Amino acid sequence: MRKVKIKIANNAYNDMLNLLKFHDNYSCFRLYYEDGCCKSSKVQLMLDVPKPTDICNKIEDLTICYDGELSEKVEEVIVYLNKGNYLIKPTLKSLPGFQKDCSKSCGGCKNSCGSH
């Protein structure tokens, strides 16, 4: 599996390190793919521990892990911190049969997101 390119803003990086220090039962952050509305991030972030099948990126003192599904569907992830919230900006891969952008047949929102 090819690694996902991960960029983290300095303020997000420092905040993530502090969270890991505070929650000593976790040792990494996990990025995971979540199918849904075209207006949603598609990539979520949570505290976790590495699993044997994970792909992990080490960014200085911070470990970010994810599974093969994220690696197959996402090219790059940028993590920002804004007003105490993490903002995740993924760049999705263009794959056959994989919908990257919003359309009338958006697979997770059933036209309820207001973007159609």
Q: Is residue 52 part of a domain?
A: yes
Beta bridge pairs of residue 43: 33
> Residue 32 pLDDT more than 60?
yes
Residue position matching structure tokens 């793919």: 33
Q: Is residue 106 part of a domain?
A: no
pTM to 2 decimal places: 0.79
Q: Is residue 104 part of a domain?
A: no
Q: For position 35, what pLDDT does the model report?
A: 80
How are strands ordered across the β-sheet holding 28-33? 43-48, 28-33, 62-66, 55-59
For the stretch 40-83, pLDDT in tens is 668 999 999 999 999 999 999 999 999 999 999 999 999 999 99
Domain that holds residue 27: 5-92
Task: Report the CATH number that the domain containing residue 86 is assigned in CATH.
Answer: 2.60.300.12
Number of compact structural domains in the chain = 1
